[in-house]
């Protein structure tokens, strides 16, 4: 073997080993690498009441209610399989909408309600001009965010 091909060999083997090790570590850490749990996770897995965790999913259509003059919010988070009711006291981010993604941090109480102390809005990968959606709405073709103004 020439010195050059030996160097190629060493480099390729060590990089493959490294990639495999990384893959195994990431597989083991899979749960912990996710930033939030889905409503299904909350229903199917043992969750300690009062332990802080993050719950994420879509804000269920028609569930967003403001109480106490808009300071307290109640809404459901769904992953289209299960849904969890959330109570949050505080200011909502600009992107918080029904039908849109959201991540909340808080804990479950005895009644199975999620008491959030932080709400983050998650947006999707779609970008569209505002005028286009208005035109779609005018022609009745819009299917995107119905019930967005229901409050």
Please give the radius of gyration of the chain, using alpha carbons only, rounded to the nearest integer: 22
Among 2, 30, 48, 149, binds another protein (CB under 8 A): 30
Among 46, 110, 131, 143, binds another protein (CB under 8 A): 131
- 101-120: which residues touch another protein (CB under 8 A)? 103, 118-120
Q: What are phi and psi of 126, to 5 degrees?
A: -95, 135
Least Å distance, CB 38 to another protein, is 7
Among 50, 62, 93, 112, binds another protein (CB under 8 A): 93
138 forms part of the interface with another protein (CB under 8 A): no
Whole-Å CA distances, 25 to 11, 13, 14, 19, 22: 21, 18, 16, 10, 5
Q: Which is nearer to another protein, 27 or 111 (CB)?
A: 27
Q: How far apart are CA 42 and CA 20, in angstroms?
A: 31
Q: How far apart are CA 41 and CA 150, in angstroms?
A: 28
First to last CA, the chain: 74
13 forms part of the interface with another protein (CB under 8 A): no
Least Å distance, CB 30 to another protein, is 7
135 forms part of the interface with another protein (CB under 8 A): no
* Largest Cα–Cα separation, the chain: 78
* Residue ranges binding another protein (CB under 8 A): 4, 7-8, 11, 15, 18-19, 22, 26, 30, 33-38, 56, 92-97, 100, 103, 118-133, 144
């Amino acid at each position: 073997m020439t010195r050059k091909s030996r160097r190629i060999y060493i480099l390729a083997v060590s990089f493959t080993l490294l990639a495999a090790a990384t893959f195994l570590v990431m597989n083991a850490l899979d749960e912990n690498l996710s930033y939030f749990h889905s409503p299904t996770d909350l229903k199917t897995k043992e969750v300690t009441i009062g332990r802080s965790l993050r719950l994420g999913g879509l804000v269920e259509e028609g569930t967003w209610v403001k109480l106490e003059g808009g300071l307290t919010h109640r809404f459901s988070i769904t992953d289209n399989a299960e849904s969890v009711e959330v109570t949050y006291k505080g200011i909502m981010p600009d992107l918080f909408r029904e039908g849109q993604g959201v991540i909340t941090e808080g804990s479950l109480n005895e009644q199975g309600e999620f008491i959030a102390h932080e709400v983050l809005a998650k947006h999707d990968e779609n970008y569209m001009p505002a005028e286009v959606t208005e035109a779609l709405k005018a022609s009745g073709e819009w299917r995107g965010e119905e019930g967005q103004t229901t409050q």
